[in-house]
C-alpha cells in the first residue's frame, strides 16, 4: 500500500510493559515526540471506540501541530490499533497505526505499521520520527528499576 511505513524493533522489556507505554499519557509525553519536540496528551480513553488527542510542540520555535483519532483494537500485551488525523487541513486523510507486540527470548518484538500517511509528508521523515520515538521508548521501558527507587 502506498504511503505506508513498516518498522520493527526488539526491546529488552516484557510485552505488557511496552504495551502499557502506548496507553499511559505521561509515558507517551516522554517517548512519543521526535527529538526537538515536546508532547502533551490532551485526551486518552484506551478502549475500543475511545478517543485520543495530543500535540507536538517544536521546542525551538514554539510552533505546534495537533492530531487525534480513535482506538480500533486493544489486546493488552499483543496488539494496539488506532486512527490518527492531523488537525491541519493541509494534511488531509486518516492514518491507521497498528502496533504488534510479540514476546521473544530477550523481551518484545514490536512491529509498527502506519498506513495512509498524507502525500505531503515524505516517508523518510516518518521513518526518522519513528526511529527517534522507538529510541526514547527503549530508554523508558528497558531499565529494571527496583521497587522503592
Domain ranges of the chain: 5-141
What does pTM read for this prediction? 0.93
In the CATH scheme, what is the code of domain 5-141? 3.30.530.20
Three cell numbers written together for 139? 530508554
* 74-133 pLDDT tens trace: 999 999 999 999 998 888 889 999 999 999 999 999 999 999 998 888 999 999 999 999
Report the distance separating Cα 140 and Cα 13, nearest Å.
10
2 confidence band (pLDDT: 50, 70, 90): low
101 burial level (CB within 10 Å; 0-12, 13-18, 19+): buried
What is the separation, in whole angstroms, between the first and last Cα of the chain? 46
Report the distance separating Cα 4 and Cα 76, nearest Å.
24
148 confidence band (pLDDT: 50, 70, 90): confident
Amino acid at each position: 500500500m502506498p504511503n505506508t511505513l513498516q518498522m520493527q524493533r526488539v526491546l529488552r522489556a516484557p510485552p505488557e510493559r511496552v504495551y502499557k507505554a502506548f496507553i499511559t499519557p505521561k509515558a507517551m509525553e516522554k517517548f512519543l515526540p521526535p527529538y526537538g519536540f515536546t508532547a502533551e496528551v490532551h485526551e486518552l480513553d484506551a478502549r475500543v471506540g475511545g478517543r485520543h488527542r495530543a500535540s507536538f510542540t517544536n521546542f525551538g520555535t514554539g510552533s505546534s501541530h495537533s492530531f487525534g483519532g480513535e482506538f480500533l483494537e486493544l489486546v493488552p500485551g499483543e496488539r494496539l490499533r488506532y486512527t490518527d488525523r492531523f488537525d491541519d487541513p493541509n494534511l488531509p486523510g486518516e492514518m491507521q497505526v497498528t502496533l504488534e507486540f510479540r514476546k521473544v527470548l530477550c523481551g518484545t518484538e514490536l512491529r509498527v505499521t502506519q498506513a495512509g500517511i498524507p502525500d505531503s509528508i515524505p516517508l523518510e521523515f516518518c521513518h526518522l520520527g519513528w526511529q527517534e520515538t522507538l529510541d526514547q521508548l527503549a530508554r523508558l521501558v528497558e531499565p529494571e528499576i527496583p521497587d522503592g527507587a
